[in-house]
Amino acid sequence: MMLVVSTTLWAQYKLPKLDYGYADLEPYIDSATMRIHYNNHHAAYTNNLNVTLQKYPELFKKDIVEIFQNLNEIPADIQTAVRNNGGGYYNHLLFWSMLTPAAKSKMSPAVEKALIKNFGSVENFKASFEKAAMTRFGSGWAWLIKDASGKLKITSTANQDNPLMSFADEKGKPLLALDVWEHAYYLKYQSKRADYTKAFWSVVNWTKVEEFMK
């Protein structure tokens, strides 16, 4: 009897449809960077994740967050690849959703109130977030998260790790993410990560942040 392996679960993960054009975040994030970041970097992580999981296609049945929370249960021979490519897939998925054209980037009173409650002021929050971005050595991410108790915290992770992963120093639900890999900003800002980090505030999708806070 021939063993038939279903392929209906393969290639589950796909690039998202962006809610804006490549040039719509100008001048804060340039169109050339957006095009390369999305079509080359994010596409590669997505494709590599699908290829990796094909070795154990039953893993396609699991939600990506469930995979992150139980990485130690992933087969050892693909664990690192799932960590890196799964993180790259998911982190960028969040990142794109947290960006919006500058004209639409407006913080709601609810978000402002939450930031003041947890950090003392919006200015303090931004300064702490920028510090997390600037002190992340090498490649990685800066995060605003909500922990299990409901408290908002700022953290950072290396490479494509995120706060949902089982071994994260600070675990929590991502509310805001900033990609500080050089490929996210080097074409426009070169080595000036600080300028890129400050420009980020002009294109934050605060509506999405509020949605994630709920």
Whichever domain contains 207, its CATH number is 3.55.40.20
- What is the average per-residue pLDDT within 85-114? 98
Residue 150 lies in a domain: yes
User: Is the per-residue pLDDT at 2 higher than 60?
Assistant: no
HSE, side-chain direction, 13 A CA sphere, residue 102: 11
Domain extent for 94: 26-214
Task: Please give the model's pTM, rounded to 2 decimal places.
Answer: 0.93
pLDDT at res. 110: 97
- Per cent of the chain over pLDDT 90 is 94
Residue 38 lies in a domain: yes
Banded pLDDT at 103 (limits 50, 70, 90): very high
C-alpha–C-alpha distance, residues 106 and 122, integer Å: 13
Please report which helix (H) or strand (E) contains residue 128, including its range: helix 122-135
- What's the mean per-residue pLDDT of the chain? 94
pLDDT at res. 3: 30
Residue 148 lies in a domain: yes
Model pLDDT for residues 131-184, shown as the tens digit of each residue: 999 999 999 999 999 999 999 999 999 999 999 999 999 999 999 999 999 999
